Amino acid sequence: MSEQKRTREQRRKELQQKKHKKPLKLWFKRIIITVCILGVLGLIGGGSLFAYYASTAPKLDESSLKDPISPRLLDANGDLFATVGSENREYVPFDKIPQQMVDAIIATEDSRFYQHNGIDFLRLGKAVIANFTGGFGAQGASTITQQVIKNSFLKNEKTLKRKAQEAYLALQLERKYDKNEIFEMYFNKVLMSGRIYGFGTAAEYFYGKELKDLTLDQFAVLAGMPQSPNNYNPFKNPELAQKRRNIVLHLMNLHGKITDAEMKKAQAVPIENSLLPEDQRIAKNNSKYDAFIDIVLDELEKNGDGDSIADGITIYTTLQPNAQKQVEASLNSDIFPNKEIQSAVAVIDTKTGAIAAVGGGRNYGAERGFNYAQDMKLRSPGSTIKPLLDYGPAIEFLKWSTGQTIVDDKITYTNTDQVIRNFDGKYKGAMTMREALYNSRNVPAVKTLKEVGTKNAKEFINRFGIDIGDVHESSAIGGTSKSMSPIQMAGAYAAFGNNGVHTEPYSIKKIVYRDGKTEKDYRPKSVPVMKDSTAYMVTDVLRDVLTKGTATKAAISGLDIAGKSGTSNYDSNQIKQWNLPSSAFPDVWFAGYTTDYSIAIWAGYPELKTPMTTNEERYLPQHIFKEVMTNISKGKNTARFKKPNSVVEATIEKGTNPLKLASEFTPDDLKQTELFVKGTEPTTVSDEYEKLELNAPTNLKVDYDKESSSATLSWDFDKPKNKEVNVKYEVSVAINNGPSQILQTTDQMGLVIQSLIPGSSYVFTVTAISDDVRSEPASISLTIEAVVEEEPVVTPPEEPIIDENEGVPNNNGNENNNGNGNGNNGNNGNANNSGGDQSGTNPDDTTNPDGTTGSGENSSSNP
Residue 116, phi-psi category: left (phi > 0), alpha (psi -120 to 50), beta (remainder):
beta
Distance between CA atoms of residues 772 and 88, nearest Å: 82
Could you tell me where the DSSP H helices lie in 58-142? 62-66, 99-109, 121-134
Q: Are 330 and 405 in contact (CB under 8 A)?
A: no
Distance between CA atoms of residues 38 and 249, nearest Å: 46
Distance between CA atoms of residues 814 and 824, nearest Å: 11
Distance between CA atoms of residues 796 and 806, nearest Å: 16
CA 97 to chain centre: 50
CB atoms within 10 A of CB 738: 12
Distance between CA atoms of residues 180 and 171, nearest Å: 15
Residues 6+ apart with CB under 8 A from 26: none
| Amino acid identity at 668 | D
Helices (H) and strands (E) in the chain, counts: 25, 26
Among 407, 409, 396, 552, smallest CA distance to 461 is for 396
In angstroms, what is the C-alpha Rg of the chain?
Answer: 49
- Sheet arrangement for strand 80-83: 80-83, 72-74, 314-317, 508-512, 519-521
Q: Which of 383, 598, 709, 861 is catalytic?
A: 383
Residues 6+ apart with CB under 8 A from 63: none
Torsion of CA 771, 776, 780, 781, to 10 degrees: 100
Distance between CA atoms of residues 765 and 778, nearest Å: 6
Length of the chain: 863
Distance between CA atoms of residues 824 and 721, nearest Å: 61
Residues 6+ apart with CB under 8 A from 622: 551, 553, 554, 565, 590
Distance between CA atoms of residues 548 and 543, nearest Å: 9
Beta partners for 506?
Answer: 354
Beta partners for 732?
Answer: 742, 765
Is 383 among the residues known to form the active site? yes
Helix (H) or strand (E) holding 147: helix 144-153
Q: Which of 109, 367, 653, 681 is catalytic?
A: 109
SS3 of 197, please? strand
Distance between CA atoms of residues 699 and 13, nearest Å: 142
Is 815 among the residues known to form the active site? no
Q: Are 276 and 268 in contact (CB under 8 A)?
A: no
Beta partners for 602?
Answer: 344, 589
Looking at residue 124, what DSSP letter applies? Answer: H
Q: Are 284 and 61 in contact (CB under 8 A)?
A: no
Helices 160-176 and 144-153: crossing angle in degrees, nearest 10, is 110
Torsion of CA 805, 807, 810, 814, to 10 degrees: -120
Distance between CA atoms of residues 414 and 604, nearest Å: 31
Distance between CA atoms of residues 437 and 387, nearest Å: 8
Distance between CA atoms of residues 493 and 305, nearest Å: 29
Residues 6+ apart with CB under 8 A from 87: 286, 287
The catalytic residues are 109, 383
